[in-house]
Chains A and B, each alone.
Chain A
Amino acid sequence: MDRIPILRMGHFLLVTIQIDLYDRLATNLETDLVQMVNKTGAKGVLIDISALSIVDSFMGRILGNIGSMSKIMDAETVVVGMQPAVAITLIELGLELKGVHTALNVEKGMTLLQEKITSYDEELLDNEDHSEQG
């Protein structure tokens, strides 16, 4: 069966969607990703959609789902590389891609993920400091 490969890089999972997805492939990706987050304990998921010429409400929902599912599994999701025409169309369609972060390209997406994770770690450290003082 066709599958979109998921690469692991440190704390992150990388997905590059190279072809126009049909529905089964997209729903497979959704379940595969959540399982991978669970298996690897990944802290971030980066999805590159620069090769997607269209994102319709179904695909938008899948991206949103991946974001929310990863979130409750303690991982952040960043969608990168959206084409301008796709962004215009998504907003006119009424989809706002809530629950996922976006970045212009893979590099910026990685930086964003790094920041998210570090700020989270710092928060934890801060809390520990307070508890020691108290």
Chain B
Amino acid sequence: MKIEKEQDVVPFRNRVKEYAVKIGMSLVNQTKLITAASELVRNMLKYANGGVVLIEAINQGRDVGIRLTFQDKGPGIKDIAMAMKDGYSTGKSLGLGLPGTKRLVNEFDIKSTVGEGTTVSIIKWKNG
């Protein structure tokens, strides 16, 4: 799913919700996943002018979950360790985006190359 402008955020969140409901995720986990997705998509719009998100339902053994992969061709993140710290932000925000998002999901993976872009992938298990 392509994200190019802020009006894309609400439909995107609804799509994520549809997937989460389909696998029978609890309301609290749904809310956590959608909030995490919202944070990441906002980062993507703010720092990279948008990008592409892949929404997948995945299986691992008996576990079912949703994986979201956010890919942008933005400026990239120079210091990922720094960006993952609470309260750190290069923009004008609270700096909770990345570390907060990580707390909301079960798996969080970030790769970034300066000048090429950033890929973040998160997984929320149904019962996680």
Q: Which residues of A contact B (CB under 8 A)?
A: 20, 22-24, 53-58, 60-61, 83-86, 88-89, 92-95
Contact = CB atoms under 8 A, between A and B. Distances in A.
B95 to A, nearest CB: 9
Nearest to B87: A94
Provide the main secondary structure of the chain B interface: helix
Contact of B42 (A56, A60, A86): A56
Interface string B1-22: 0000011011001000100000
B35 interface: yes
Interface of B: 6-7, 9-10, 13, 17, 27-28, 30-32, 34-35, 38-39, 42, 86, 93-94, 96-97, 99-101, 103-104
Contacts, number: 70
Given A88-B31, A95-B94, A56 B7 contact: no
A61 B104 contact: no
A22 B7 contact: yes
B22 to A, nearest CB: 16
Contacts of B27: 85
A88 B28 contact: yes
